[in-house]
Amino acid sequence: MSCCKVPVLIEAQVEMGSVNELEHKSLFRQEEDAAQTKEASLMEQGSLSTSFPQHTPKSPKNSVLNSIKIVIFCNKLNLLLPFGPLAILVHYMIDSKGWVFLLTLVGITPLAERLGYATEQLACYTGPTVGGLLNATFGNVTELIISIFALKNGMIRVVQLTLLGSILSNMLLVLGCAFFCGGLVFYQKDQVFDKGTATVNSGLLLMAVMGILFPAVLHYTHSEVHAGSSELALSRFSSCIMLIAYAAYLFFQLKSQSNSYSPLDEETNQNEETSAEDEDPEISKWEAIIWLSILTAWVSLLSGYLVDAIEGASVSWNIPISFISTILLPIVGNAAEHAGAIMFAMKDKLDLSLGVAIGSSIQISMFAVPFCVVIGWMMGQQMDLNFQLFETAMLFITVIVVAFFLQEGTSNYFKGLMLILCYLIVAASFFVHEDPPQDGI
């Protein structure tokens, strides 16, 4: 489960070889919260472990107040939470779409992180298999929600660009920063990662590119049988194939994970601790579900305003919609994963960073994109996989570059810097790119 946070966390704990339960739990939280660097220092002072009730019972029963305290207050990123309601106020009071857009962006960021947290908590209860699946499906739920809203409004182009931007940002920016920062910390040697997984992931990304390439090329060589409906039919068929492939990928990962977990257990002999970890998260199962629903509803609400404000922001700031959708939105949506990947790399756990970055790219390209096509099919929206020639070419060349960087199995700060610079080139080209007039949103 390269893109799941649960095995990431469990693996991180096992690898850190922690000894007692309390350390386990504080480290558990440290992994999540360290995504916000301010928080890391607090952790090391151990001040938060005191706010933690004793955890001998399997499922913590928190009162509503306790629950709110744990989920909302003990994370300093949540200071940004009020920006959400503020954005809605601004939306109704002032007519400045630019400000609404900015405030909504800022307001969504902590929600994205809390959603990830709630998903992980829930995954603790459901066992590794379902937990992994949960993370695999909901890892990018923010992008998914934004996309579904845009689809409902018929803003197909925005959906395509947002998802594309998310793939590009994960592959180049997140991965590049991880390699770069990790390489700076460990500059005497090259960091290594598992070549086999990286190769399979590159192959999957190439398959996704293939699925996106054919409808685009079909359209541009004007060689379809029934102009207009052929690409749509092909896109829908390819989407189903890609969803099947993603399901097979998850199945395959689960099967090979179950083979690799048993030696770990024997070596570290921490079966009790790991099972205790499974059922000793911070909030109870129902709390997790409730918080998940609350956060999802809140994100949906804000996304609605966000999607409405995109065009207005583009006009008032004088930058193309492609840039906003492809570069700005995904940076915000991926902020938490970004920080997580960098932190793992700086701890020399490059496999986890790769899992977060490339796994997220695969999840979006092989799951979110085809899923949106299918949802569009059900809604009656004509969403297809024809991402237009420029974007498709961009994706193709990016995947090839990243696949080449990954195939060696080592990394250093230079490779990271190259990837970041490639992302700057991509961002710049989207800054001066707008769709030809006949393909309106």
Residues that bind other proteins (CB under 8 A): 195-196, 199-200, 202-204, 206-207, 209-211, 213-215, 217-218, 221, 223-226, 230-231, 233-234, 237-238, 241-242, 244-245, 248-249, 252, 259, 396, 400, 403, 407
CB of 400 to other proteins, least distance (A): 7
CB of 420 to other proteins, least distance (A): 24
Q: Which is nearer to other proteins, 202 or 314 (CB)?
A: 202
CB of 229 to other proteins, least distance (A): 9
CB of 386 to other proteins, least distance (A): 12
d(CA 163, CA 157): 10
**DSSP per position, 252-280:** HHHHHHHHHHHHHHHHH--HHHHHHHHT-
Q: Which is nearer to other proteins, 256 or 271 (CB)?
A: 256
First and final C-alpha spacing in the chain? 36
Q: Which is nearer to other proteins, 16 or 206 (CB)?
A: 206
The one-character DSSP state at 170 is: I
CB of 206 to other proteins, least distance (A): 5
d(CA 221, CA 230): 13
Q: Which is nearer to other proteins, 171 or 209 (CB)?
A: 209
Compute how many other C-beta atoms are within 10 angstroms of the C-beta atom of residue 271.
10
Residue 128, Cα to own-chain centre: how many angstroms? Answer: 19
Kind of pairing, strands 191-192 and 410-411?
antiparallel
Q: Which is nearer to other proteins, 108 or 207 (CB)?
A: 207
Are 108 and 302 in contact, with CB atoms under 8 Å apart? yes
CB of 263 to other proteins, least distance (A): 14
CB of 245 to other proteins, least distance (A): 5
H helix intervals, 35-169 = 37-44, 47-50, 64-68, 83-93, 97-125, 127-138, 141-152, 156-168
Q: Which is nearer to other proteins, 261 or 396 (CB)?
A: 396
Q: Which is nearer to other proteins, 238 or 325 (CB)?
A: 238
Name which of 324, 37, 378 is nearest 164 in CA terms.
Answer: 324
